Structure 1
Amino acid sequence: MAATLVSALSSRRKGGEDTSTPAKRARRKEARPGELLAAALTLFVEKGYAATRVEEVAQLAGVSKGTLFLYFANKEELFKAVVRENLAGHFPEWNAEFDVWSGNTSELLQYALREWWERVGSTPVAGITKLMMSEAANFPELASFYESEVMAPGRSLVQRILQRGVDRGEFRLIAPADMRHAVYAVLAPMLFLMSWKHSFGACAAPTEAIDPVRYLEQQARILLHGLCAPTATTSPAMRAASTA
């Protein structure tokens, strides 16, 4: 994967630098931050934070280490930029989608799980979450950054979805003291999928493979309807929903 990216990023360079016209060099300079972030994402996911060296990122992006430092002061700032570009920077867009949702909240929750997989979970970006889970204890400053930039906004968005359902009478009442745990019940399937994809899932036997879409659909059904079979006192609508 890294070799392919090196070839793609370096195909129009000679000696690591663009020697074409000034206009092309200007365009090349504008593209460098994005190319450095793409290279950094690849290496952080493949090697982890501690094992990734800025020299490798620069080489993968086809520039010198000095060029990298023109844009990012150090590896920590490079990592933060990767997180903002691929995760944290999308929360305004995701919250805006919540604001204009007109359907019921059950559909919103299922949509959120599906879209999360399409936009994050199925992409290399999911490896950043797995990286933080494994290396956070060794890099507390990065852990604090990730908490404030990704985890807290993520919890807030899920809580908004759950509270919408409660306020509209679509979800049962969740006590304020229990809301935090309800949020984690929604987040847990996502965290599992990201961890699985970048660990055991990479070498699992075909019989043990997980279909992410079906898995999330099942998790949504359990979240919304529980595991208990409908009883005689359950409304026809609820019985139909629990077997959908």
Structure 2
Amino acid sequence: MGIEFAASAASINDQRVISLMSVHSSRQRRKDARPQELLEAALSLFVEKGFAATRSEEVAQRAGVSKGTLYLYYPSKEELLKAVVRSTLAVEVAEGARLLDEHQGSATEALLGPLVDWWIRVYNSPASGVFKLLLTEMCNFPELAEFYAQEVLEPGMGVMARLLMQGVERGEFRPLDIEMAVHSIAMPFVMMCVHKHSLGACGFKDIQPEAFMRGHMHLLLSGFQAAAAPGAGHLRGHKAT
């Protein structure tokens, strides 16, 4: 009888230990996921309402935590926005730079292939909302504007500039004003993302992003390319979709 009781007690204790371990593991997973949940809540609210109009309490409420918990991870709303940018656009810019740096073909092929594919991926991701957020409110927050320039704008423009300069050096492109050429590539793509989260979000008919982006790049390349450039045949044989 005593042996059976001891065995039963041991079994109960084991179950309690397992239960406590399961609760601890669940709480740990929840804690580990919390920063990302806060960033997702912040991004959605910032895009919907604007950075200035969004209150920290709203971010915490949407993420299902207290305001105090939010401040444990991000001590100010400005730091929260910086974390949002780092986890979305900055990550995408780094990945785009990697893809273009690893590209082995011509500059024309890189612009029509990896670069356009990268922009389409950004357009279809939550990161596209960051463009609208920053472009509409940066002038009121100079520190955040400087942060955006350092983390996103300069690296992104830099990788496109390197690609265009390679095309010029190889005789693939005519001599270009590189800075203006980079702006000509980037600004329409940025505005497509802004449209998605402004007029597009209000029910206005959206332009087909992939068709627009590929068509736009073909138009630019027809002006970039030198006469009888090595990549010109590829462009003529590459239909805009």
> Does the 8 A contact of 2:42 with 2:80 survive in 1?
yes
Corresponding residue to 1:212 among 209, 213, 224 = 209
Aligned pairs for 1:159-198 within 5 A? 159-174=161-176, 178-198=177-197
CA distance in 1, matches of 2:63, 2:202: 29
| Larger relative helix fraction | 2
- Quote how far apart the aligned CAs of 1:238 are: 4.5
Larger Rg, first or second structure (1 or 2): 2
Residue aligning to 2:58: 56
The equivalent of 2:19 in structure 1 is: none
How many Å separate the matches in 1 of 2:43 and 2:96? 22
Q: Distance in 1 between matches of 2:56 and 2:23?
A: 28
For normalisation by structure 1, the TM-score amounts to 0.80
8 Å CA contact 1:45, 1:124 repeated in 2:
no
Q: Distance in 2 between matches of 1:100 and 1:107?
A: 13
Residue 149 (structure 2) aligns with: 147
1:113–1:200 Cα change, 3 Å:
farther
Q: Quick check: 2:100–2:115 contact (8 Å CA) kept in 1?
A: no
Select between 143-152 and 110-119 the one with higher mean Cα deviation: 110-119
Please give the residue correspondences for 1:36-115 in structure 2 after superposition, counting only pairs within 5 Å: 36-115=38-117
Unaligned runs of 5+ in 2: 1-21
**1:170 positional shift:** 1.2
Equivalent residue, structure 1, for 2:219: 222
Contact conserved, 2:97 with 2:159, CA < 8 A, in 1?
yes
Over 3 Å counting, the alpha-carbon distance change for 1:224 and 1:64 in structure 2 is same
How many residues align? The count is 214
Distance apart, 1:87 and its partner CA = 1.2
Q: Find the counterpart in structure 2 of residue 9 from structure 1.
A: none
1:189 Cα deviation (Å)?
1.6
Structure 2 equivalent of residue 8 of structure 1? none
One-letter identity of the residue aligned with 2:103? W
Residue in 1 aligned with 2:18? none
Cα distance in 2 for partners of 1:54, 1:42 equals 13
- Name the stretch that deviates more: 163-172 or 52-61: 163-172
AA of the residue aligned to 1:95 = A
Q: How far, CA to CA, are the matches of 1:157 and 1:169 in structure 2?
A: 19
| Counterpart contact for 1:136–1:142, Cα < 8 Å | yes
Q: Secondary structure at the match of 2:171?
A: coil
Supply the AA of the counterpart residue of 2:200: G
Shift of 1:43: 0.7
1:118 CA displacement:
3.1
Counterparts of 1:179 and 1:157 in 2: how far apart (Å)? 11
CA distance, structure 1, for counterparts of residue 232 and residue 107 of structure 2: 15
Give the Cα separation in 2 of the matches to 1:118 and 1:201: 16
